[in-house]
Protein backbone atom coordinates (compact mmCIF):
# COMPACT_ATOMS: atom_id res chain seq x y z
CA UNK A 1 0.00 0.00 0.00
CA UNK A 2 2.81 2.39 0.88
CA UNK A 3 4.45 1.68 -2.47
CA UNK A 4 1.26 2.63 -4.32
CA UNK A 5 1.04 5.92 -2.41
CA UNK A 6 4.69 6.73 -3.19
CA UNK A 7 4.22 5.92 -6.87
CA UNK A 8 1.06 8.02 -7.12
CA UNK A 9 2.79 10.92 -5.35
CA UNK A 10 5.71 10.69 -7.74
CA UNK A 11 3.45 10.60 -10.79
CA UNK A 12 1.50 13.62 -9.53
CA UNK A 13 4.74 15.55 -9.05
CA UNK A 14 6.05 14.67 -12.51
CA UNK A 15 2.84 15.61 -14.27
CA UNK A 16 2.72 19.07 -12.63
CA UNK A 17 6.35 20.01 -13.29
CA UNK A 18 6.74 22.96 -15.64
CA UNK A 19 9.57 23.27 -18.09
CA UNK A 20 11.77 26.33 -17.86
CA UNK A 21 14.85 26.82 -19.95
CA UNK A 22 17.99 28.92 -20.05
CA UNK A 23 18.37 29.73 -23.76
CA UNK A 24 21.28 31.47 -25.47
CA UNK A 25 20.86 33.30 -28.77
CA UNK A 26 24.30 33.63 -30.32
CA UNK A 27 25.92 36.19 -32.59
CA UNK A 28 22.97 38.60 -32.82
CA UNK A 29 22.58 42.37 -32.95
CA UNK A 30 20.28 44.58 -30.92
CA UNK A 31 17.59 46.30 -32.99
CA UNK A 32 15.83 47.96 -30.05
CA UNK A 33 17.13 48.95 -26.63
CA UNK A 34 14.65 50.88 -24.52
CA UNK A 35 13.61 51.51 -20.96
CA UNK A 36 10.05 52.05 -19.82
CA UNK A 37 9.30 53.66 -16.49
CA UNK A 38 6.12 53.76 -14.46
CA UNK A 39 3.05 53.63 -16.68
CA UNK A 40 -0.56 54.30 -15.74
CA UNK A 41 -1.88 51.72 -18.21
CA UNK A 42 -0.35 48.61 -16.51
CA UNK A 43 1.54 47.71 -19.69
CA UNK A 44 3.55 44.46 -19.39
CA UNK A 45 6.79 46.40 -20.05
CA UNK A 46 6.13 48.78 -17.13
CA UNK A 47 9.48 49.46 -15.36
CA UNK A 48 11.50 47.25 -17.69
CA UNK A 49 14.51 47.35 -19.97
CA UNK A 50 13.31 46.10 -23.37
CA UNK A 51 15.56 44.57 -26.05
CA UNK A 52 14.72 43.24 -29.50
CA UNK A 53 17.19 41.21 -31.55
CA UNK A 54 18.05 41.02 -35.24
CA UNK A 55 20.16 38.66 -37.31
CA UNK A 56 22.95 39.45 -39.80
CA UNK A 57 20.31 40.20 -42.47
CA UNK A 58 18.73 42.82 -40.15
CA UNK A 59 15.57 40.72 -39.78
CA UNK A 60 13.95 40.75 -36.33
CA UNK A 61 14.35 37.42 -34.55
CA UNK A 62 12.98 35.75 -31.44
CA UNK A 63 14.93 34.40 -28.50
CA UNK A 64 13.26 31.61 -26.58
CA UNK A 65 10.10 31.96 -28.68
CA UNK A 66 9.40 35.58 -27.72
CA UNK A 67 9.79 38.81 -29.72
CA UNK A 68 11.36 40.81 -26.88
CA UNK A 69 13.70 40.40 -23.93
CA UNK A 70 13.05 42.26 -20.70
CA UNK A 71 14.68 42.99 -17.38
CA UNK A 72 12.82 44.58 -14.48
CA UNK A 73 14.50 47.83 -13.55
CA UNK A 74 13.19 47.62 -10.00
CA UNK A 75 14.51 44.25 -8.83
CA UNK A 76 17.76 43.14 -10.41
CA UNK A 77 21.07 43.85 -8.72
CA UNK A 78 22.75 43.58 -12.13
CA UNK A 79 20.32 45.89 -13.97
CA UNK A 80 22.78 48.78 -14.47
CA UNK A 81 25.55 46.47 -15.70
CA UNK A 82 23.30 44.67 -18.20
CA UNK A 83 21.85 47.99 -19.40
CA UNK A 84 25.35 49.39 -19.88
CA UNK A 85 26.45 46.43 -22.00
CA UNK A 86 23.24 46.58 -24.06
CA UNK A 87 23.68 50.31 -24.75
CA UNK A 88 27.34 49.81 -25.66
CA UNK A 89 26.53 46.98 -28.07
CA UNK A 90 23.70 48.97 -29.66
CA UNK A 91 25.73 52.17 -30.06
CA UNK A 92 28.77 50.36 -31.48
CA UNK A 93 26.66 47.96 -33.57
CA UNK A 94 28.45 45.01 -32.01
CA UNK A 95 27.28 41.42 -32.05
CA UNK A 96 26.29 39.84 -28.75
CA UNK A 97 25.33 36.54 -27.21
CA UNK A 98 22.14 36.91 -25.17
CA UNK A 99 20.77 34.39 -22.69
CA UNK A 100 17.22 34.41 -21.35
CA UNK A 101 15.25 32.59 -18.68
CA UNK A 102 11.92 31.34 -19.98
CA UNK A 103 10.58 30.84 -16.46
CA UNK A 104 10.03 34.59 -16.08
CA UNK A 105 7.96 35.82 -19.02
CA UNK A 106 5.46 38.35 -20.21
CA UNK A 107 3.21 37.49 -23.15
CA UNK A 108 5.83 38.99 -25.51
CA UNK A 109 9.16 38.63 -23.70
CA UNK A 110 11.58 36.42 -21.77
CA UNK A 111 13.74 37.68 -18.92
CA UNK A 112 17.31 38.73 -19.72
CA UNK A 113 19.92 36.76 -17.81
CA UNK A 114 23.23 37.33 -19.65
CA UNK A 115 24.49 39.61 -22.40
CA UNK A 116 28.03 39.23 -23.72
CA UNK A 117 29.83 41.38 -26.28
CA UNK A 118 31.53 39.28 -28.95
CA UNK A 119 33.96 40.12 -31.72
The per-residue pLDDT for 39 is 84
Q: Is residue 6 part of a domain?
A: no
Q: Is residue 11 part of a domain?
A: no
> Is residue 68 within 8 Å of 52, Cβ to Cβ?
yes
pTM across the whole model: 0.79
Judge whether residue 10 has pLDDT over 80: no
Split at pLDDT 50, 70, 90, the class of 99 is very high
Q: How far is CA 114 from CA 2, 43, 46, 71, in A?
A: 45, 24, 21, 11
Residues β-bridged to residue 117: 96
The per-residue pLDDT for 119 is 77
The residue segments making up the domain with residue 36 are 19-117
Domain count, the chain: 1
Amino acid sequence: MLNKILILSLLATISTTTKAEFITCKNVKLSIVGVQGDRDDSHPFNNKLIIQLKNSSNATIQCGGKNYIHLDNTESATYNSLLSIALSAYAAKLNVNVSVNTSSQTDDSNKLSVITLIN
